[in-house]
């Protein structure tokens, strides 16, 4: 690798791979490098443009808002006195996504363990394949199924929850179609289940055989093997899978728009219809919005974007920290 | 503490493939028995049938009997978990749990079986680490991850982990093959000490090692690739290395094949 | 060695060694029988209490099964085995819990979708048909989806591919780190936000109307990071020895990339691109904002509103009549079939090309 001292290849700073020729860069190389670097730069430009334009339109909208954008329980972006705020949307988005995570993550870890450690071997790999395929089903199909099949099947369950848990307030339910945030949460959970399962399964399958055998040889039962060797090894993978799922749940539009019966109220009950999410609100308000109304929706979209960025950033931090630990340990 | 192992008519399979064929032998308590033989002769597979680890390999299946004193490991109603707790194992590559500290690694097996007071746990961990000749090297960093140790130390940590639950028998599957000569020497010395307490069975590729550490040596061979491995002979180590009764053994130990 | 003897006695009396290797075990048929009993009891209780939702029956049965196994095992086999059984039943329940809705989703789509799905449905648009009337089709939506996805791929695939090449083959500096970081950020963009961005620039500022192309731009933004990531993975799999061997022969770097690196990884790259296409084909939100939907055939993606399959499903659902529900299910079935076929083919390519990588 002494060639690197001869090679003087200015464009890629710190390029470790030496250029074979010590002479000037060939035109072919220059063009190719230019193209590929240009693409990278184009990507950066797009990201910058997204940030700039969304912010610009949002500023237009928020400065025209006659009410507090963060705390108002209303979305009326037309007329001379536009009043709109994201309080209900933020609440609905977070609550439905949290419900989805609470349901989906344990179940997904269960299925992933089922495929990697419990299922008969003949069943395991086709199952993994089917899960991967299910992850590709478009969200609008989940939305259609949710609206026409899931909703009618849930009102009985909700009545039941109301009978036994209604006193909590959270689970009180007055009759009617089950088009509530809780239903949205359930549907989102079903929707992100395949992707969370798929990623978790990959991680569980990567657990080194020798760690599992170490636990087995100490006289561990199957569950103890999983607790000692599989789960600690897979933890950061499960976290990143969950965050991937959470990102999808937060930004999901169609599955929410079809199932939820929206309103601009925050009610203590999760089972009663009402509430809204950022994406659902954009989709349902868009067709009747004038230009200012569209700006207002863009402003709410920007908030959604920031929230998903924070979630993804948090996930990356967690993973980086875990990696450091296991890196030091490896 | 240590028990006698009596194997009769044991065969093991991987799916449809027969890996070892009709093996019978007796292993006396508080001795070191070494298994030698060319690659693929089934000595590791055989070792893993002695604590029912073979059957965790997908498709793994065993026929025959393994008596531990008078109890058949493969009898009806025998719990493989209890078997593995009674017959400890050390693997080819050191495999401490990467997410656990040194202390937790040694205590891992104990914690599976009922509750110990903190002080009891400490005592046993210390004794086990001393028993594995590792205490002096790690006593100041018991809370550091076990995988931060050197390869030889990790292997001794795994031995400490295995002996902490006081098994009857200790199986070692080429425990030194991933280690440097000095670490190997440390492990060999340790085996000499451990045989006062345990019945030890060790698989090794290294004939000098077998000669150094073992009381008895078993030679395994296979007729051809794809054929099941067989026990050729088992005898006092000295006899095997000086005057074996089978020609193939002599050929192997004098380096004519394998 | 007297020390060791000492040690042994101390450790010994604290160790609850199993007296025997035999442990009381539940017979092998216990879990299935218990499952049947629990299922029966669940239905029984559900019927007796007059619970109208089968969801409840299932939940009761599941709880009975889990509790029954645990109690029985704890009584016969002891605490550790009981915990193991509890974990096993929970894992099975998780699996069944997930299979039920996912199987129902596929079943409903196929059963309800096949009702009106025929040659006429595939080859006709909605035209002037009133929404509540049966009839009509998705030809216009298929055309729209193919054009929009095709255009998006034409934009995103080259940019994504070249960016990945830059990151793997050239990039080591600050620019590369920035690109890597923002590709991660871009992966997390919700699809509706991508739609809003194009809306703000293309329609609100530049003043264009809705068109298939506007939708394509948003889809391309969603597709790029996926292509970059998967291509990067594939390029990293190409062994460095191959590159060095080629460079050592005096082949310029760009030709090494084109003639050695890309051909080696082309299978995986194709798979990645096809999976990305499958993903954006199902995207509805940006299409809703930018393409608007139409009832008639519009072959020109650069002008006027178009239809697309996912949007068609949504709009037919919105109509709320039996006939439009039927059409929505049928279109959903076509959409799923399309996405599944893309997936299957992509994975087929990956498998077919895989052995060539396997040499390492």
CB contact under 8 A, C163 and A39: yes
The rounded distance, in Å, linking the Cα atoms of C281 and B121 is 59
Domain match, C198 and C302 both: yes
Q: Is residue C217 part of a domain?
A: yes
Domain match, C180 and C144 both: yes
- Choose the final residue of a domain: C113, C131, C148: C113
- Domains within chain B, CATH numbers bracketed: 5-95+169-253 (3.40.50.300)
Phi, psi of A289 (to 5 degrees): -85, 140
Parent domain of C104: 24-113
User: Taking every pair of C-alpha atoms in chain A, what is the biggest distance, in angstroms?
Assistant: 82
The neighbour count for residue C123, using CB atoms within 10 Å, is 11
Contact A274, A267 (CB under 8 A): yes
Domain positions in chain A are: 3-64, 85-329
The neighbour count for residue B42, using CB atoms within 10 Å, is 26
Residue A324 confidence (pLDDT)? 54
Domain match, C199 and C102 both: no
Domain match, C268 and C202 both: yes
Residue B79 confidence (pLDDT)? 86
Per residue in C45-81, is it b (16+ CB within 10 Å) or e — as a string?
ebeeeebebebbbbbbbbebbbebbbebbbeebeebb
Using beta carbons and an 8 Å cutoff, which residues of B are at the interface with C? 1, 68, 71, 73, 75, 77-79, 81-83, 85-86, 112-114, 116, 120, 123-124, 127-128, 130-131, 164-166, 193, 196-197
Q: Is residue C120 part of a domain?
A: no
Q: Is residue C275 part of a domain?
A: yes
Q: Is residue C308 part of a domain?
A: yes
The rounded distance, in Å, linking the Cα atoms of B107 and B109 is 6
Domain A85-329 sits in CATH at 1.10.3720.10
The neighbour count for residue A329, using CB atoms within 10 Å, is 17
Domain match, C294 and C251 both: yes
The rounded distance, in Å, linking the Cα atoms of B85 and B172 is 15
Which candidate in A117, A217, A231 is best for mutational testing of the B interface (most B CBs within 10 A)? Answer: A217
Contact C130, C327 (CB under 8 A): no
In this model, does residue C11 exceed pLDDT 70? no
Question: Which of B71, B86, B120 has its CB closest to that of C14?
Answer: B120
Domain match, C108 and C151 both: no
How many CB pairs lie under 8 A apart between chains A and C?
A: 301
CB contact set of B119 (below 8 Å; sequence gap of 6+)? none
According to DSSP, the β-strands at B60-68 and B71-72 are: antiparallel
- Count up the domains in chain C and report the number: 2
How many CA atoms does the CB half-sphere of A109 hold within 13 Å?
20
Residue of C nearest to A295 (CA): C200
Q: Does C128 contact B at CB distance below 8 Å? A: no
Cα dihedral: C120, C125, C128, C131 (round 10): 80
- Choose the final residue of a domain: C96, C113, C130: C113
Q: Which residues of C touch B123 (CB under 8 A)?
A: 10-11
Phi, psi of C68 (to 5 degrees): -60, -45
Domain match, C43 and C184 both: no
Q: How far off is chain B from C71, nearest CA to CA, in Å? A: 19
Domain match, C95 and C175 both: no
Which candidate in B61, B84, B143 is best for mutational testing of the A interface (most A CBs within 10 A)? Answer: B84
Q: Which residues pair with B200 in a beta bridge?
A: B32, B170
Domain match, C222 and C339 both: yes
Per residue in A170-199, is it b (16+ CB within 10 Å) or e — as a string?
ebbbeeeebbbbbbbbbbbbbbbbbbbbbb
Cα→Cα distances A68→A63, A248, A302, B200, Å: 10, 28, 16, 77
Q: Is residue C126 part of a domain?
A: no
Question: Which of C87, C91, C328 has its CB closest to that of A144?
Answer: C328
Confidence at A13, pLDDT banded by 50, 70, 90: very low
Q: Residue A83: which H helix or E strand, with range? A: strand A83-84
The rounded distance, in Å, linking the Cα atoms of B144 and A273 is 53
Per residue in B68-105, is it b (16+ CB within 10 Å) or e — as a string?
beeebbbeeebbbbbbbbbbbbbbbbbbbbbbbbbbbb
Chains near A (3 or more Cβ pairs under 8 Å): B, C
CB contact under 8 A, A216 and B162: no
Per residue in C175-197, is it b (16+ CB within 10 Å) or e — as a string?
bbebbbebbebbbbbbbbbbbbb
Q: How far off is chain B from C11, nearest CA to CA, in Å? A: 6
DSSP-derived 3-state class of residue C151: helix
For chain C, the average pLDDT equals: 87
- Here the CATH number for the domain that contains residue C188 is 1.10.3720.10
In this model, does residue A7 exceed pLDDT 50? no
CB contact under 8 A, C53 and A226: no
Q: Is residue C331 part of a domain?
A: yes
Q: Does C118 contact A at CB distance below 8 Å? A: no
The rounded distance, in Å, linking the Cα atoms of B94 and B96 is 6
More confident residue, A219 or C225: C225
Residue A325 confidence (pLDDT)? 52
pLDDT tens by residue, chain B, 258 residues: 578 899 999 999 998 899 999 999 999 999 999 999 998 888 999 999 999 999 888 888 999 999 998 889 998 888 888 899 889 999 999 999 988 899 999 999 888 877 788 899 999 999 999 988 899 999 999 999 888 899 889 999 999 999 998 898 999 999 998 888 888 998 999 999 999 999 999 999 888 999 999 999 999 998 888 889 999 999 999 999 998 999 999 999 888 776
Domain match, C200 and C262 both: yes
Cα→Cα distances B90→A194, B162, B217, Å: 38, 7, 19
Confidence at A267, pLDDT banded by 50, 70, 90: confident
Residue A23 confidence (pLDDT)? 52
Nearest-CA neighbor of B190 among B225, B155, B223? B155
Give the DSSP letter of residue B41: S
| C-alpha triplet B54, B72, B53: angle, nearest 5° | 15
Centroid of chain to Cα A155: 27
Helices A231-251 + C191-198 axis angle, to 10: 40
Cite the beta strand spans of chain C per DSSP E: none
Residue of B nearest to A122 (CA): B58
Q: Which residues pair with B67 in a beta bridge?
A: B6, B72
Mean pLDDT of C158-174: 92
Q: Which chain C residues in 11-40 lie under 8 Å from chain A, judged by CB atoms?
A: none
How many CA atoms does the CB half-sphere of B36 hold within 13 Å?
31
Question: What radius of gyration, in Å, describes the C-alpha atoms of chain B?
Answer: 18
CB contact under 8 A, B82 and A326: no
In this model, does residue A24 exceed pLDDT 50? yes
Domain match, C91 and C210 both: no
CB contact under 8 A, B79 and C22: yes
pTM > 0.80: yes
Residue C309 confidence (pLDDT)? 96
Q: Is residue C132 part of a domain?
A: no
Q: Which residues of B touch A233 (CB under 8 A)?
A: 98-99
- Choose the final residue of a domain: C98, C113, C128: C113
In this model, does residue A54 exceed pLDDT 50? yes
Confidence at A323, pLDDT banded by 50, 70, 90: low
Domain match, C157 and C277 both: yes
């Amino acid at each position: 690798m002494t060639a690197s001292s001869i090679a003087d290849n200015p464009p890629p700073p710190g390029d470790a791979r030496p250029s074979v020729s010590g002479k000037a860069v060939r035109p072919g190389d220059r063009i190719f490098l230019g193209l590929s670097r240009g693409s990278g730069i184009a990507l950066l430009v797009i990201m910058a443009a997204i940030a700039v334009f969304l912010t610009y339109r949002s500023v237009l909208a928020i400065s025209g808002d006659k009410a507090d954008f963060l705390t108002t329980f209303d979305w009326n972006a037309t007329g001379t006195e536009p009043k709109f705020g994201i309080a209900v949307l933020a609440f609905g988005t977070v609550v439905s996504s949290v419900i989805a995570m609470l349901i989906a993550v344990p179940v997904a870890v269960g299925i992933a363990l089922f495929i990697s450690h419990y299922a008969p071997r003949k069943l395991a790999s086709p199952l993994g394949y089917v899960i991967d395929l299910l992850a590709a089903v478009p969200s609008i199909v989940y939305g259609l199924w949710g609206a026409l099949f899931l909703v009618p099947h849930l009102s009985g369950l909700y009545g039941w929850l109301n009978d036994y848990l209604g006193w909590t307030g959270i689970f009180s339910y007055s009759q009617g179609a089950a088009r509530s945030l809780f239903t949205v949460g359930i549907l989102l959970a079903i929707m992100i289940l395949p992707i969370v399962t798929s990623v978790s399964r990959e991680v569980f399958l990567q657990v080194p055989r020798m760690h599992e055998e170490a636990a087995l040889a100490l006289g561990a039962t199957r569950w103890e093997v999983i607790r000692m060797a599989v789960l600690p090894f897979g933890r950061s993978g499960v976290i990143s899978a969950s965050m991937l799922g959470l990102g999808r749940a937060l930004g999901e539009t169609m599955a929410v728009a079809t199932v939820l019966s929206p309103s601009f109220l925050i009610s203590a009950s999760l089972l009663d219809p009402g509430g809204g999410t950022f994406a659902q609100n954009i989709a349902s308000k868009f067709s009747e919005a004038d230009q200012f109304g569209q700006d207002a929706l863009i402003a709410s979209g920007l908030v959604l974007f920031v929230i998903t960025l924070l979630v993804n950033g948090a996930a990356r931090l967690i993973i980086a920290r875990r990696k450091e630990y296991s890196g030091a340990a490896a | 503490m240590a028990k006698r192992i009596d194997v009769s008519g044991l065969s093991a399979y991987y799916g449809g493939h027969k890996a070892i064929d009709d093996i019978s032998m007796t292993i006396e308590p508080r001795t070191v028995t070494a298994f030698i033989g060319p690659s693929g002769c089934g000595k590791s597979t055989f070792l893993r049938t002695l604590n029912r680890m073979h059957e965790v390999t997908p498709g793994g299946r065993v026929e025959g009997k393994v008596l531990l004193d008078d109890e058949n490991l493969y009898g009806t109603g025998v719990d493989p978990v209890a078997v593995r707790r009674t017959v400890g194992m050390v693997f080819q590559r050191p495999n401490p749990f990467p997410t656990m500290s040194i202390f937790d690694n040694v205590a891992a097996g104990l914690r599976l079986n009922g509750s110990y007071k903190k002080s009891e746990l400490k005592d046993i961990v210390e004794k086990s680490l001393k028993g594995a000749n590792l205490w002096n090297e790690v006593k100041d960093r018991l809370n550091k991850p076990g995988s931060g140790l050197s390869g030889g130390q990790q292997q001794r940590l795994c031995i400490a982990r295995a002996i902490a639950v006081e098994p009857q028998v200790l199986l070692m599957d080429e425990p030194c093959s991933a280690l440097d000569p000095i670490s190997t020497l440390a492990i060999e010395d340790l085996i000499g000490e451990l045989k006062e307490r345990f019945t030890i069975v060790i698989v090794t590729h290294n004939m000098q090692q077998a000669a150094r550490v073992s009381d008895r040596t078993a030679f395994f061979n296979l007729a051809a690739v794809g054929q099941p491995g067989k026990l050729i002979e088992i005898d006092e180590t000295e006899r095997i290395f000086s005057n074996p009764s089978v020609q193939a053994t002599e050929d192997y130990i004098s380096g004519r094949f394998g | 060695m007297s020390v060791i003897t000492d040690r042994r006695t101390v450790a010994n009396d604290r160790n609850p060694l199993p007296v025997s290797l035999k442990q009381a075990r539940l017979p092998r048929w216990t879990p299935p029988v218990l499952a049947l009993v629990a299922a029966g009891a669940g239905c029984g209780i559900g019927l007796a209490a007059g619970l109208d939702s089968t969801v409840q029956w299932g939940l009761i049965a599941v709880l009975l099964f889990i509790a029954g196994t645990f109690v029985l095992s704890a009584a016969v086999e002891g605490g550790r085995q009981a915990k193991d059984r509890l974990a096993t039943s929970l894992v099975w329940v998780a699996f069944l819990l997930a299979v039920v809705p996912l199987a129902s989703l596929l079943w409903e789509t196929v059963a309800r979708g096949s009702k009106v799905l025929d040659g006429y449905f595939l080859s006709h648009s909605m035209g002037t048909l009133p929404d509540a009337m049966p009839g009509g089709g998705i030809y216009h939506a298929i055309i729209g989806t193919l054009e929009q996805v095709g255009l998006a791929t034409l934009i995103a695939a080259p940019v994504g591919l070249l960016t990945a090449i830059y990151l793997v083959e050239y990039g080591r500096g600050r620019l590369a780190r920035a690109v890597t970081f923002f590709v991660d950020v871009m992966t997390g963009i919700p699809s509706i936000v991508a739609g809003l961005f194009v809306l703000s620039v293309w329609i609100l500022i530049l003043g264009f109307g809705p068109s298939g192309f506007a939708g394509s731009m948003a889809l391309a933004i969603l597709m790029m990071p996926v292509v970059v990531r998967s291509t990067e993975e594939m390029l990293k799999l190409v062994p460095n020895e191959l590159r060095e061997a080629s460079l050592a022969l005096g082949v310029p770097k760009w030709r090494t990339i084109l003639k050695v690196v890309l051909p080696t990884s082309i299978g995986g790259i194709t798979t990645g691109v096809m999976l990305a296409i499958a993903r954006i084909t199902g995207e509805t939100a940006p299409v809703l904002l930018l393409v608007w939907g139409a009832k008639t055939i519009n072959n020109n993606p650069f002008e006027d509103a178009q239809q697309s399959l996912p949007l068609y499903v949504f709009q037919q659902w919105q109509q709320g009549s039996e006939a439009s529900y039927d059409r929505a299910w049928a279109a959903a079935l076509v959409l799923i079939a399309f996405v599944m076929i893309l997936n299957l083919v992509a994975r087929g390519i990956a498998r077919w090309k895989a052995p060539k990588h396997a040499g390492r």
